[in-house]
Amino acid sequence: MAATVPLRRDVPIEHTWDASSVFASDTQWEEAIAKVHADLAGVSKFHGHITTSAAALLAWFTLQEDLIRQVMHIWIYASMFHEVDTADGSAAAKQARASGLYAKFAAATAFAEPELLAAPPETLESLRADPSLSVYGHYFDELLRRKEHVRSAEVEEVLGLAMEPFETASGIHGILSDADLKFEPKSGPLEQEITQGTIGTLLSSPDRETRRIAWETYSDAYLAHKHSMAACIAAGIQQNVLRARVHRYSSSLEAALAPGNIPTQVFHSLIDAFKRRLPLWHRYWDLRRRALKVDKLHVYDIKAPLSQANPSISFEQSMKWICEGMAPLGTAYVEAMRRGVAEQRWVDKFPNHGKRMGAFSSGSQGTHPFILMSYDDSIYDLSTLAHELGHSMHSYHTWQTQPPAYADYGMFVAEVASNFNQALVRDYLFKTQLDRDFQIALIEEAMANFHRYFFIMPTLARFELEIHERVERGEALTADTLIDLMAALFAEGYGDKVEFDKERIGITWAEFPTHLYSNFYVYQYATGIAGAHALAEGVAAGTPGAKDRYLDFLRAGSSRYELDVLKSAGVDLSTPVPVEKAFDSLAGMVDRLESLLF
């Protein structure tokens, strides 16, 4: 009999995140929506007037920032119900209303940047020089940098209105994946029910048959809906191409990287380094095969435990070790993190039916950071918790420090903060948990993290680039062509060291219903882990100034360009050096694992 996963209504409240800290009730949420509608009605009075004086522009910025704060709180509250139970119709309706409100806000405020850029240069320079607007200096720099890509107020308004319908493709894919797919083993039930929240645990089972059944069942569920999901992702890519062309970018890749002022060469340099280092992955697959004593390694063996005593780690123990591991950043950092989890209920902890796959951190200025995950007492979920707390503490420091104009940050820096926490906690555990089996498990966790960020994600990035380029050339995307492309890319990565099941490996793209709709997001996992390891090395070693530089990085928000913020912290991701050094660290992990196993 498979261990059952609870329904959402049966999850104890202390294990859930605290939506009431955002709005005390649905009634208060409805009142906030009504207020936004009323405030949006007053936006029109600013049309044609925001450049008439510094006072007028400051009044506009103040209103706009207040609106985005209100809209984000409304959206976050709705998402906190929908993400934990995607089959709940009332929660889905909340989410749809919040998304529609955001689109209305985007459309109503779309006139502002075109109007600013239409002002005579001397007017803009005069406004920028006014002391009351001094905080917006970087905003003006950023606006002028994008000038040739900002369209008329009418065009930007249409794009704003299109935000909600443009979310349909990813929304359908997500609902299929999280709510409608049925994972029913053909070979009989497993000891644990297969859900989005338990698949990781099952693929880490010491029993090979359990892993095989779980992997095949999971893949087959996606294959059964491959045409629907292919139609969704094709629509998502077409939308990216449309937006890039409307904003006059030469490619979807350039359009995706331009907001962060990141040269496309950073993307291509990562992919080149990844392809050069594929033999290291081939070596690791063979090491796993030998350690597991199997004739041929399968994909479902990649997370199989190599130790006979894989540690079981409670959520409370994980938090204790994470706090101890992050101690080099100081008492204030650790206490804010501990209080957030233990007292303020930042984390929605455990699996339940309908809960969205994976893990993430969310929130906005004026709320707590919030984390969704499906903790399962494994060393992998200790690492996931550390990762998401890295995101949350990045947000916490930014929101505490920056004005509303810079209270967000790009994904390029976000993945540095999350992987930094994993690296620092892992370093602490390597130094304090000296049992051989624990050391092996810790290396396996590190390798699983590298596998996701330095193997899966670069492979998905190559896939993403190719499907965008196909659409840009006018070619069609179908389920079979997507499977063929994905399978071909993984064939390079696995070489002749992994048994190849083309259809099940080729459907991997469908198993990422969020990432591949986020427009060249996935490559940033790899650059992020490279930057994180470089910065964590200095902090762990107690290098003078390293801690303070890192905390300044967390506080920077979007007040400077992302590459510049990282350079100030001590790593230059505009060059391939950090990526190559991270691959060297990965090679060292493989060496260390081999020495422990043989």
Residues with a known catalytic role: 388
Spatial distance between the Cα atoms of 467 and 124, rounded to a whole number of angstroms:
40
Neighbour-count burial of 292, counting CB atoms closer than 10 A to its CB (0-12 exposed, 13-18 middle, 19+ buried): middle
Spatial distance between the Cα atoms of 16 and 105, rounded to a whole number of angstroms:
30
Residue 11 tokens read as 């999850």
Spatial distance between the Cα atoms of 241 and 477, rounded to a whole number of angstroms:
13
Residue 331 tokens read as 């008492």
310-314 contacts, C-beta under 8 A, 24 or more apart:
310/204, 310/206, 310/378, 310/379, 310/437, 310/441, 311/379, 311/437, 311/438, 311/441, 312/377, 312/378, 313/377, 313/378, 313/379, 313/381, 313/382, 314/377
Question: Letter for the amino acid at 522?
Answer: V
Spatial distance between the Cα atoms of 46 and 56, rounded to a whole number of angstroms:
8
| 137 Cβ contact list (under 8 Å, min separation 6) | 128
Residues 130, 54 contacting (CB under 8 angstroms): yes
Collapsed DSSP state (helix, strand, coil) of residue 361: strand
Question: What is the distance of C-alpha 322 from the center of its chain?
Answer: 20
Radius of gyration of the chain (CA): 24
Could you give the strand order of the β-sheet that contains 347-348, starting from the edge strand earlier in sequence? 347-348, 370-372, 360-362
